[in-house]
Amino acid sequence: MSESTVLDKAHCWHPFTRQEQWCAPDHQPLMISRAEGVWIYDENGNKYLDGNSSIWTNIHGHCRPEISSAIAKQAAVLDHSSYLGLGHPLASRLSAKLVSFFPEKTLERVFFSDNGSTAVEVALKMSMQSRMQKGEGERVRFLAFDNAYHGDTLGAASLGGVNRFFSRFQQLGFETQFLSSMADLENVDTSDVTALVIEPLIQGVNEMRPWPKGMLKELREWTAGKGIHLILDEVMTGFGRTGKMFACQVEGVIPDFLCVAKGLTGGTVPLAATLTTNQVYEAFLGPAENAFYYGHSYTANPIGCAAALASLDIFEKDGTFETLPGKIAIIGQLLAELEEGRQSVLEIRQCGMVAGIQLRQGLGEAVIREMRSFGVITRNILDTIVFMPPLCISKEEIGFYVRALRAALSKVG
């Protein structure tokens, strides 16, 4: 057992992990020491395809020189400066870049934070406080969907519909009414609702389940008609995962709040952003008590902004969106072939570069463990195997993933 493993078991506490199993004497955890492109390497030199983009974060491949160079260059000039009462040029440029993906006079303001949970938390608090300051203080409730996941901070957790994660905490956060489908909107008293929150096009933690086509557009029309804010959680779906820069662009929808994180910096350093409209922003002008008193020490940190700008440049330099349709098609084709005649595969669910392979009950953990022996690392959500690779993955590497999954299924299922 390596020194790093010994120290890990003695002192570390991992997220979403059953620590008793992790620290068991016979468990040999993988200790990742380096990465390049779509490949990650353990400390013994073994090579694995990163099948879930290191928890849905990596976009252009690991250790992309343009991003690494931007981080190093920025760290040598300005490593950090507070964004509370100060600004810096990179945050200004990044804000302008993010709003440029949307039509003028729509999403015009950017509030930076640290991660997906805080990006959503910002939107929730902005929505509610803006109501209070516009004489609509009765609007205090939120709408969210069953099996949703919007983060782990207390406010975001109260909108989470996955009981195993959130049932202990829901009563402590915002008052939320959960919906199972569009039909449930008929039974909603909208008079005290401030916002509806949804992961557009596909739910992530709910075993990669796509929403019906056209639903997002219908939701936008419904919320607009009721004067309800639409908050889109694009923490997972943003930055090319669905084939567009943002999932909402697939159906031509512009929300009142857009929350991004994960892939914002290309999957390198923490940074998140909440985009919103001038109508919301203007509710916070005026006396001191109207200000939005929320923020973090590393809000809009210069190193994160440098990484994000470099990542966004790569989309244009590489022509990323021109390459995606072919990759999306080959993922669908190879996974469909995997499903044929195999009783252990119950369903394939795909939305752009995101796929969930639904297996027979009880196979999920065993299959991902076995996939490691065939050179692939990914995560399961219960019995759904996730395939969400970096966008730079080649067609040959997609084939490598599917062959590893097929081999693991042959051994386990």
On the question of pLDDT at 1 being above 90, the answer is: no
Is the same domain home to 273 and 406? no
> Does 9 map to a domain?
no
Is the same domain home to 80 and 52? no
Residue 406: CATH number of its domain:
3.90.1150.10
Q: How many angstroms separate the CA atoms of 69 and 75, rounded? A: 10
On the question of pLDDT at 413 being above 80, the answer is: no
Q: pLDDT confidence of 168, banded at 50, 70, 90?
A: confident
Phi, psi of 392 (to 5 degrees): -80, 0
Q: pLDDT confidence of 128, banded at 50, 70, 90?
A: very high
> Does 303 map to a domain?
yes
Q: Which pLDDT tens digit goes with each residue over 287-340?
A: 999 999 999 999 999 999 999 999 999 999 999 999 999 999 999 999 999 988
Q: pLDDT confidence of 176, banded at 50, 70, 90?
A: very high
Is the same domain home to 328 and 308? no
Q: pLDDT confidence of 246, banded at 50, 70, 90?
A: very high
CB 265 within 8 A of CB 307: yes
Q: pLDDT confidence of 169, banded at 50, 70, 90?
A: confident
Is the same domain home to 269 and 144? yes
Domain boundary among 318, 350, 375: 318
Tell me which residue range forms the domain holding 379: 31-63+319-412
> Does 213 map to a domain?
yes
Which position has the higher pLDDT, 172 or 286? 286
Rounded to two decimals, the pTM is 0.97
Tokens of 298: 């590393």
Domain boundary among 283, 318, 353: 318
- CA terminus-to-terminus distance, the chain: 30
Q: pLDDT confidence of 15, banded at 50, 70, 90?
A: very high
Is the same domain home to 186 and 251? yes
Q: Which pLDDT tens digit goes with each residue over 50-93?
A: 999 999 999 999 999 999 999 999 999 999 999 999 999 999 99
Q: How many angstroms separate the CA atoms of 336 and 325, rounded? A: 17
Q: What burial letters (b/e) apply to 135-170, b meaning 16+ CB within 10 Å? A: eeeebebbbbbebbbbbbbebbbbbbbbeeebeeeb
Q: What's the pLDDT score for residue 147?
A: 94
Is the same domain home to 115 and 77? yes
Is the same domain home to 398 and 303? no
Nearest residue to 408 (alpha-carbon basis) of 24, 62, 61, 51: 51
Tokens of 151: 């983060």
Q: What's the pLDDT score for residue 167?
A: 79
Is the same domain home to 401 and 279? no
Q: What's the pLDDT score for residue 166?
A: 78
Q: pLDDT confidence of 162, banded at 50, 70, 90?
A: confident
Is the same domain home to 376 and 296? no
Render 188-221 in DSSP notation, one character per residue.
--GGGEEEEEE-SSEESTTTSEEPPTTHHHHHHH
CB 265 within 8 A of CB 36: no
Is the same domain home to 245 and 334? no
> Does 147 map to a domain?
yes
On the question of pLDDT at 24 being above 80, the answer is: yes
Is the same domain home to 203 and 337? no
Residue 109: CATH number of its domain:
3.40.640.10
> Does 215 map to a domain?
yes
Domain boundary among 318, 344, 372: 318
On the question of pLDDT at 237 being above 90, the answer is: yes
Number of domains in the chain: 2
Is the same domain home to 311 and 177? yes
Q: What's the pLDDT score for residue 183?
A: 97
> Does 360 map to a domain?
yes
> Does 146 map to a domain?
yes
The half-sphere exposure of 87 on its side-chain side, counting CA atoms within 13 A, is 9
Q: What is the mean pLDDT of the chain?
A: 96
> Does 10 map to a domain?
no
Helix (H, G, I), strand (E, B) or coil at 275: strand
Q: How many angstroms separate the CA atoms of 350 and 332, rounded? A: 7
Mean per-residue pLDDT, 178-193: 96
Q: Which of 160-169, 255-264, 355-364, 389-398 has the lowest mean pLDDT?
A: 160-169
- Looking at the chain, the whole-number percentage of residues with pLDDT higher than 70 is 100
Count of H helices and E strands in the chain? Answer: 14, 17
On the question of pLDDT at 165 being above 90, the answer is: no
